[in-house]
Structure 1
């Protein structure tokens, strides 16, 4: 998604559950600044899930959050140091956890994982709506 007109925000962080609200506010502020208000709620939910997975399922809470916008949409990438891949499971709706990747995969237009030398990049994409592409 490296197109003309791409804007981005990059944030190196150590994930702590107490900091997730602040990160959601940062994501919301950038999306609003870029004129992508319609994505604030779904993007905040997805970023929370991706960062929570780093905190719970990797050996290190260190990661990098990258937001990119372009005429074709918005891409969010969370890079961490683990080789473990996220798993989408059929959710147990009575359990307290385990639904995140299912909800994420149902919310975004596309998502995937790219292995890296240091770990992996988990990315999600929201494609621009007709109104968003014209803005």
Structure 2
């Protein structure tokens, strides 16, 4: 695990997306967002971080990934990059299934989200805006 905190409002960590690490990253994310003045974004950010990392744990082998957080006055951006080239899909889950709702949850709390193929896999990103501010079209 490698952690980088740059001056200002950027954070980067390489990790294995395993349950114990996800719990730890949730605490770090909450603390950083509060420190950066984004306390209102903690709950939706934790939903996004948890679901993005859980997807890596569930679908990517090895479960190595990189989490990046960045905050500006207008948004918080969360990016999880991994070695898989399979992009996430927003789909209607089977009502009886115990999984398959992660991207729906992210879409419900984020102002916008997306995924980009990279030279080493993919990067799934989420943007959160201040309460009451609509996302740019």
Question: Structure 1: 5+ residue runs without aligned partners?
Answer: 1-5
CA root-mean-square deviation = 1.7
Residue 72 (structure 2) aligned to one of 70, 73, 81: 70
Q: Distance in 1 between matches of 2:131 and 2:102?
A: 24
SS of 2:70 mapped into structure 1:
strand
Aligned position for 2:111: 109
Asked whether 1:41 is paired with 2:43, we answer yes
With normalisation by structure 2, the TM-score equals: 0.86
Question: Structure 2: 5+ residue runs without aligned partners?
Answer: 1-7
Q: Distance in 1 between matches of 2:47 and 2:131?
A: 19
Aligned position for 1:84: 86
Displacement of 1:92 after TM fit? 2.9
Which structure carries more helix by proportion?
Answer: 1
With normalisation by structure 1, the TM-score equals: 0.87
Q: How many residues align?
A: 127
Displacement of 1:130 after TM fit? 6.2
Asked whether 1:22 is paired with 2:24, we answer yes
Asked whether 1:61 is paired with 2:96, we answer no
Q: Distance in 2 between matches of 1:111 and 1:32?
A: 22
Q: Distance in 1 between matches of 2:74 and 2:89?
A: 27
